[in-house]
Amino acid sequence: MSKFTLEWKIQRADAGKLIRAFLKEQEISKAALTDIKFSGGTIKLNGEDVTVRKPLSEGDILLVEFPPESISESMEGENIPLHILYEDDNVIVVNKPAGMSTIPSREHPSGSLANAIIGYYKKIELETTVHIVTRLDRDTSGLVLIAKHRHIHHLMSKQQKEGTLKRNYEALAEGIFFETKGTIEKNIGRKSDSIIEREVQDGGQYACTHFEVLKQYSTFAHVKLQLETGRTHQIRVHLSYIGHPLLGDDLYGGETSRIKRQALHCSKLTFNHPIEMREFSFEIELADDMRELL
């Protein structure tokens, strides 16, 4: 069984602290500690099992071994090729093609990125489950960040809330942009008569999108976008709202004669690695169908 571990060499500033207090500072929650205690994890100080009430001394080696994670019985692994840009013991960065769901749904119960990841984990004999940090719509292509353990997922989700995990997108949007850059700050909520479609509405959740026109063409523009928030369909809704729906996005008014999916691609992903404690950044070129249009 695979177990996820974290290890620290205790510095002078942390000497005298109880293990419980030190681990709280490392963002290990009370629920995680309970899971460690009752579900097969261990806490070792200098190689010996200890409780969280043990005080620390300078130079101690503290090891936390989390319980193994089991894959949900409802989630099947599938042998689907993955384009992996980066992988270590904690995270994976993949380039998701358009047409692949991030997670299974009632309409698309198989063939998702999650199914592919589980299939990959089985192949490399890693016993864990899927923790997708940054989801993309089924027909949006580009970079997706996946955590290999729920604690790493917790740390990355905190970065999302704090705005230190950043995603840049590129899109092909209809019409002539008279402003080459700008910010769209409009609340987004679900349409009352739809379980899928979103719209700008006063009572919705705050949403902020920055855009910059990279190049204007005769009937559409190549646009770079960065999100301050991560609402469902945010870019698609915001650009449609200002009169520039994405090419191929029939749900929000885009014309579909030149491309059969919304022309949206996550091209850059930047985050602070929760274990390496330094910034990682990845970029990927546009998907083939969008490049051909340009």
Predicted local confidence at residue 132, as pLDDT: 95
Q: In which residue ranges of the chain is pLDDT below 70?
A: 1-2
| Residues 146/268, Cβ–Cβ less than 8 Å | no
Predicted local confidence at residue 2, as pLDDT: 62
Predicted local confidence at residue 1, as pLDDT: 46
Whether 137 is a known active-site residue: answer yes
The CATH architecture annotation of domain 5-65 reads: Roll (3.10)
* E runs forming strands in 158-247: 166-174, 181-185, 188-190, 198-200, 208-216, 220-227
Predicted local confidence at residue 246, as pLDDT: 98
Per-residue pLDDT tens for 123-143? 998 888 899 999 999 999 999
Predicted local confidence at residue 29, as pLDDT: 85
Per-residue pLDDT tens for 187-200? 999 999 998 999 99
Rounded to two decimals, the pTM is: 0.89
CA 285, 287, 292, 294 dihedral sign is negative
> Whose CA is closest to 65, among 139, 6, 148?
6
Distance CA 124, CA 107 (A): 29
Question: Which residues make up the CATH 3.10.290 domain(s) of the chain?
Answer: 5-65
Per-residue pLDDT tens for 29-80? 888 898 898 888 999 999 999 999 999 999 999 999 998 887 777 778 899 9
| Residues 143/265, Cβ–Cβ less than 8 Å | no
Task: Say which amino acid occupies 281.
Answer: S
DSSP reduced 3-state for 213: strand
The CATH architecture annotation of domain 167-266 reads: 2-Layer Sandwich (3.30)
Distance CA 55, CA 141 (A): 49
Question: Which residues make up the CATH 3.30.2350.10 domain(s) of the chain?
Answer: 167-266
Neighbours of 59 (CB within 10 A): 11
| Residues 273/155, Cβ–Cβ less than 8 Å | no
Predicted local confidence at residue 75, as pLDDT: 79
Catalytic residue (one of 137, 139, 249, 289) = 137
